[in-house]
């Protein structure tokens, strides 16, 4: 819980790598897959999601590949999450149809969850890719 899953990790790796490419230069799924030992088909599927969203541009055929379709400073983490995962709620409690913890009065933890939800959204909206393209860890 509260973890980046592999899909998100792979998407982030790909986007950071693309942000390091020269402008208009393409990066193929095969190249990325080999460089980071990511299963090829799995990675391809994720890149296709990013492409469908418009975050990256795809070029088919030999010499094809992907490149960023936005400036890194305009790529919000919220958008990456949306492209990879679609709409998501922070708890069942927040669902519209509502698998909600009801007593006779109402959902007792909804106010709490709402505070979390709001802060979380604000965080992912205000964090962009360019914050991370600088120095490299060695983990």
The contact set with a copy of itself (CB under 8 A) reads 1-6, 8-9, 12-13, 16-17, 35-36, 77, 81, 85, 88-94, 98, 100-103, 105-116, 119-120, 123, 127, 131-132, 134-139
Q: Which two tokens stand for residue 37?
A: 């030992």
Note whether 54 binds DNA by CB under 7 A: no
Check: CB of residue 88 under 8 Å from CB of residue 20: no
Mark the segment that binds DNA (CB under 7 A) among 23-31, 70-78, 106-114, 124-132: 23-31
Options 12, 16, 17, 28; binder of DNA; rule CB under 7 A: 28
* Shorter beta-carbon distance to a copy of itself: residue 22 or 135: 135
SS3 1: coil
Q: Which two tokens stand for residue 78?
A: 């919220």
Give the count of beta carbons closer than 10 Å to the beta carbon of residue 40: 12
Task: Round to whole Å and give the CA distance between 102 and 63.
Answer: 57
């Amino acid at each position: 819980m509260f973890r980046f899953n592999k899909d998100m990790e792979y998407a982030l790796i790909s986007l950071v790598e693309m942000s390091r490419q020269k402008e208009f230069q393409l990066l193929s799924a095969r190249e990325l897959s080999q460089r980071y030992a990511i299963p090829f088909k799995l990675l391809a599927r994720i890149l296709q999601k990013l492409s469908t969203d418009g975050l990256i541009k795809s070029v088919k055929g030999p010499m094809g590949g992907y490149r960023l379709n936005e400036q890194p400073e305009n790529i919000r983490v919220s958008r990456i999450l949306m492209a990879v995962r679609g709409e998501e709620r922070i708890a069942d409690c927040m669902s519209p149809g509502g698998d909600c913890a009801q007593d006779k009065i109402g959902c007792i933890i909804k106010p709490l969850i709402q505070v979390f939800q709001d802060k979380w959204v604000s965080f992912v909206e205000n964090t962009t890719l360019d914050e991370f393209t600088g120095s490299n860890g060695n983990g």
